[in-house]
Structure 1
């Protein structure tokens, strides 16, 4: 049986998830399984890094751009 306090928290979580402007990402790390290798992507205070060779030369890559699309409007 689910208690009423938990039901209230579930409802609050659902509301928060719909109100995306409540969230501000400061830092996180993600692994991205590419076509050839798995890459480690980090976001910290508005800046992306990726361990792939393309990012090292260009400062952006398919991995960071994919995450920007996924998180559009949240960063």
Structure 2
């Protein structure tokens, strides 16, 4: 492995430890739920999930799990005036 790549790997490790450097603005994932896969989107500070629970409550285990995983990388939720 060349020295340039070694340096990039070390830098990547530092970035991974400094989570506050990462800011997620948009995201689309497939979450393999217990019963079915679910499509989850995050855009403009708003979550969307195609599961029934999210459709009725506006939050679900899929979005909450991603909030935990992405802690400190998501923008503050929009405030309602």
Task: Return the TM-score normalized by structure 2.
Answer: 0.83
- What is the RMSD computed on CA atoms of the aligned residues? 1.0
- The residue number in structure 1 matching 2:43 is 44
- The answer for unaligned runs of 5 or more in structure 1 is none
**Larger RCO: 1 or 2 (CA < 8 Å, sep 6+):** 2
Count of aligned pairs between the two proteins: 74
Task: Return the TM-score normalized by structure 1.
Answer: 0.89
SS at match of 1:56: helix
| Per-residue deviation, 1:54 | 1.2
Superposed CA deviations along residues 6-58 of structure 1, whole A, max 9, x for unmatched, are 11111111111111111110111111111211100011121100001111111
Structure 1 stretches (4+) deviating beyond 6 angstroms? Answer: none
- The answer for unaligned runs of 5 or more in structure 2 is 75-81
Matched, 1:63 2:62: yes
